[in-house]
């Protein structure tokens, strides 16, 4: 039996990805420990994992109301407070959202460095796996193989012949690429230099130029379907392995509520655990879609009790997404990497309404490869949204194409592939 220590970003996408892979390792008889952020307390243990949790910032003062912090609350609060910036062009978001987000990530890494060092000494893992976008030096210097999982759009591994990450720019229109890269350099260089200096002071190797996380010398995994990948323009090195998808099997069963009836198409609406915190946007989507003849399953998000749904919709704070997707005909999504790749896994076309980070890149890729439609998240016309829904539902050729892709992606068994690559690495290390 080997011990695998996972540290995912404190958001549902990366955490769910690690849950899926970790569960496959646990079923093989291995010990799986999560060094997740503390708001996940009890939620991972309930799935059969061990928890040894960290704080990314000083714990909030106890208000005495007895309320439990929601999983991923750290980032839910951050996104809620900065959501007005999502209305800006992506090049303007670099200074007002992307750079502050990196700074928050860096602050979290600095704060939890002593905690992670203690966890590694306590748990004595054989392999350390990080699914995040920034480096935690304690993981790299643990003295055991360090594995990186990239569960963001693959543009994060930059290249000259691909659009800059976080831009949402088209693959075949380079007109804005250099300006975006220059603005990224201007807004991020001083912060990166200071961070790299701290990383090296902790005993870790230097970071690659303007990169915030190390590439593993042992094994790098990323989650994206071949049909939408960029490897024809930017091949990755031999240590990189693509997981076509990474879909957990731990979600609760789901049946379509009888209140929705059986007539009409069924559409899933989810802006993710973070995007759905923009209640005004959720209310507008619900209002527009509520006037269509279709039925909807809605992931209402952390502020679920602040708005109601019309009769053609059913929703909850969270829904078991991996068991909802097989039952629907179309997905309206924020373009998060987890949801995007799960849509390919189950063969579902998408309407993408990106908000931040790599969601723009996923939305653009879905649109330019013909697997769905990208809309302007805050400027779409009512008819633009309803027309896209009707058009994609009527596109039988696309739905057939997606069905074929879904069967291929499911057969590729991304979770099994990841576990098959990780287990021998642990055995070699031992």
* Helix or strand (DSSP H, E) at 47: none
Q: What's the whole-model pTM score?
A: 0.92
Query: In this structure, is the dihedral angle defined by the CA atoms of residues 318, 256, 278 and 63, taken in order, positive or negative?
Result: negative
- Which CATH number applies to 258-411? 3.40.50.2000
Query: pLDDT truncated to tens, each residue of the chain (430 aa)?
Result: 899 999 999 888 889 899 999 999 999 999 999 999 998 999 999 999 999 999 998 876 654 554 555 555 665 666 667 677 888 999 999 999 999 999 999 999 999 999 999 999 999 999 999 999 999 999 999 999 999 999 999 999 999 999 999 999 999 999 999 999 999 999 999 999 999 999 999 999 999 999 999 999 999 999 999 999 999 999 899 999 999 999 887 788 999 999 998 888 999 999 987 777 788 899 999 999 999 999 999 998 776 777 889 999 999 988 999 999 999 999 999 999 999 999 999 999 999 999 999 999 999 999 999 999 999 999 999 999 999 999 999 999 999 999 999 999 999 999 999 999 999 988 887 7
- Cβ proximity of 414 and 244 under 8 Å: yes
Residue 166 CA to residue 329 CA, distance in Å, equals 28
Domain range annotation of the chain: 3-59+66-249+413-429, 258-411
**Token pair for residue 406?**
């879904």
State in words which class domain 3-59+66-249+413-429 has: alpha beta
Whole-angstrom distance between the N-terminal and C-terminal Cα of the chain?
10
- Cβ proximity of 310 and 286 under 8 Å: yes
Residue 158 CA to residue 234 CA, distance in Å, equals 8
Q: Same CATH topology for 3-59+66-249+413-429 and 258-411?
A: yes
Residue 419 burial (C-beta neighbours within 10 Å; 0-12, 13-18, 19+): buried
Residue-wise pLDDT for 222-234, tens only, equals 999 999 999 999 9
Residue 10 CA to residue 8 CA, distance in Å, equals 6
């Amino acid at each position: 039996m080997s011990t695998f220590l996972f540290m995912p970003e404190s958001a549902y996408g990366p955490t769910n990805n690690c849950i899926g892979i970790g569960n496959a390792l646990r079923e093989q008889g291995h010990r799986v420990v999560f060094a997740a952020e503390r708001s996940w307390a009890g939620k991972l243990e309930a799935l059969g994992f061990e928890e040894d949790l960290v704080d990314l910032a000083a714990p909030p003062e106890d208000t005495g109301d007895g309320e439990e912090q929601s999983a991923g609350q750290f980032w839910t609060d951050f996104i809620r407070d900065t959501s007005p910036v999502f209305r800006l062009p992506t090049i303007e978001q670099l200074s007002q959202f992307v750079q502050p987000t990196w700074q928050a990530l860096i602050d979290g890494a600095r704060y939890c460095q002593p905690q992670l060092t203690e966890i590694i000494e306590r748990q004595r893992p054989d392999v350390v796996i990080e699914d995040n976008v920034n480096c935690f030096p304690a993981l790299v210097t643990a003295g055991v193989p360090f594995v990186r999982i990239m569960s963001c759009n693959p543009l994060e591994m930059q290249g000259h012949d691909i659009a800059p990450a976080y831009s949402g720019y088209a693959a075949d229109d380079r007109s804005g690429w250099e300006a975006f890269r220059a603005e990224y350099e201007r807004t991020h260089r001083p912060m990166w230099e200071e961070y790299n200096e701290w990383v090296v002071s902790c005993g870790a190797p230097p970071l690659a130029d303007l990169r915030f996380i190390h590439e593993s010398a042992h094994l790098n995994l990323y989650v994206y379907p071949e049909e939408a990948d960029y490897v024809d323009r930017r091949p990755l090195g031999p240590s990189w392995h693509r997981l076509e998808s990474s879909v957990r099997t731990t979600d609760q069963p789901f049946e379509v509520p009888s209140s929705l009836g059986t007539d009409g198409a069924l559409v899933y609406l989810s802006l993710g655990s973070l995007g759905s915190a923009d209640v005004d946007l959720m209310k507008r989507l619900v209002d527009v879609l509520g006037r269509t003849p279709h039925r909807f399953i809605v992931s209402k998000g952390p502020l679920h009790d602040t708005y109601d749904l019309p009769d053609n919709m059913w929703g909850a704070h969270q829904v078991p997404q991996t068991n909802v997707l097989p039952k629907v005909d179309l997905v309206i999504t924020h373009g998060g990497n987890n949801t995007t790749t799960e849509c390919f896994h189950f063969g579902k076309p998408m309407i993408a309404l990106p908000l931040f980070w790599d969601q723009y890149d996923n939305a653009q890729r879905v649109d330019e490869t013909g697997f769905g439609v990208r809309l302007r998240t805050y400027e779409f016309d009512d008819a633009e949204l309803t027309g896209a829904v009707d058009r994609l539902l009527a596109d039988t050729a696309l739905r057939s194409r997606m069905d074929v892709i879904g069967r291929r992606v499911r057969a590729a068994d991304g979770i099994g592939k990841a576990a098959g690559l990780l287990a021998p690495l642990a055995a070699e290390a031992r």
